[in-house]
């Protein structure tokens, strides 16, 4: 049974994507708010999503805020003999920095963000549980730019020892690579268009020089006044 709309969306997307990725196996997704980082039962694997984006809503003062530092912890296990797998999941909360209450607030996420995060989870499942090449992980940042420093004293994940890395640094590197590739793949401009543009600039330049020469010539020919 789903406890919230976001929880239902997580399970819906996970089950749909796992049905495509591993149709021969049966997987379940369990929300576990007591999950601890690096505390693994035998045979279990861990994956931490450190750069998810989400929106928080304070249940006390109704303040809302966007964060690009939402941390999600996953513990995964596959029983190969029974062809059954289990994923336990915890989305870490944040405190409201406006009212300063001790109430931890849950995040809500857009469906497209959840789909990308589930893709990352399945990539990790392929690598750790199936020993396959899972593919490339996706980077997720908030829909709005957030240049404010991350306040660790309000972050539940930080308080439990999970170290964040800023996604902007890696994102900028990937964006630069993508930009270089897109520029290289663009068709070259025709020689005629570049020549016309340069010719126009040079025509304006030489016209300016001619006007300056004419002006100086008439200036020297004008009679001097005593």
Query: Bigger pLDDT: 79 or 1?
Result: 79
Q: Where are the domains of the chain?
A: 5-166
Q: The tokens of 21 are what?
A: 């990725």
Q: The tokens of 221 are what?
A: 């020919």
The dihedral over CA atoms of 39, 41, 43, 48, expressed in degrees to the nearest 10, equals -30
pLDDT given at position 201: 64
pLDDT given at position 77: 98
Decide if 171 contacts 141 (C-beta within 8 A). Answer: yes
Q: How far is residue 88's CA from residue 36's CA, in Å, rounded to a whole number?
A: 11
Tens digit of each residue's pLDDT (9 = 90 or more) over 133-145: 978 887 654 444 5
Query: Bigger pLDDT: 168 or 16?
Result: 16
**Angle at Cα 217 formed by Cα 214 and Cα 223, nearest 5°?**
135
Residue 160 has pLDDT above 70, yes or no: yes
Residue 183 has pLDDT above 70, yes or no: no
Q: Residue 215: beta bridge partners? A: none
Tens digit of each residue's pLDDT (9 = 90 or more) over 67-101: 888 899 999 999 999 999 999 999 999 998 888 77
Q: How far is residue 133's CA from residue 72's CA, in Å, rounded to a whole number?
A: 22
pLDDT given at position 116: 92
Q: Which residues of 181-219 are buried (b: 16+ CB within 10 A; e: fewer)?
A: eeeeeeeeeeeeeeeeeeeeeeeeeeeeeeeeeeeeeee
pLDDT given at position 191: 41
Query: Bigger pLDDT: 190 or 114?
Result: 114
pLDDT given at position 138: 77
Q: Residue 85: beta bridge partners? A: 27, 78
Listed in order, strand segments (DSSP E) in the chain are 26-31, 45-57, 64-79, 84-91, 94-95, 104-105, 107-108
DSSP single-letter state for residue 222: S
Residue bearing tokens 């396959």: 132
């Amino acid at each position: 049974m789903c406890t919230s709309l976001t929880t239902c969306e997580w399970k819906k997307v996970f089950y749909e994507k796992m049905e495509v990725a591993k149709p021969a196996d049966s997987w379940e997704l369990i929300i576990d708010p007591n999950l601890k980082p690096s505390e693994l039962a035998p045979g279990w694997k861990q994956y931490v999503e450190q750069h998810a984006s989400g929106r928080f809503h304070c249940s006390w003062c109704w303040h809302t805020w966007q964060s690009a530092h939402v941390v999600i912890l996953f513990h995964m296990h596959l029983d190969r003999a029974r062809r059954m797998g289990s994923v336990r999941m915890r989305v870490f909360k944040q405190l409201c920095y406006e009212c300063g209450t001790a109430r931890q607030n849950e995040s809500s996420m857009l469906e497209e963000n959840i789909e990308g995060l589930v893709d990352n989870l399945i990539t990790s499942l392929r690598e750790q549980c199936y020993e396959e090449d899972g593919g490339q992980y996706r980077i997720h940042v908030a829909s709005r730019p957030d240049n404010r420093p991350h306040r660790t004293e309000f972050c539940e994940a930080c308080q439990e020892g999970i170290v964040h890395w800023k996604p902007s640094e890696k994102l900028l590197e990937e964006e630069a690579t993508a930009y270089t590739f897109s520029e290289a793949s663009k068709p070259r401009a025709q020689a005629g268009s570049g020549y016309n543009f340069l010719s126009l600039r040079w025509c304006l330049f030489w016209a300016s020089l001619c006007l300056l020469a004419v002006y100086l010539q008439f200036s020297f020919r004008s009679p001097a006044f005593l």
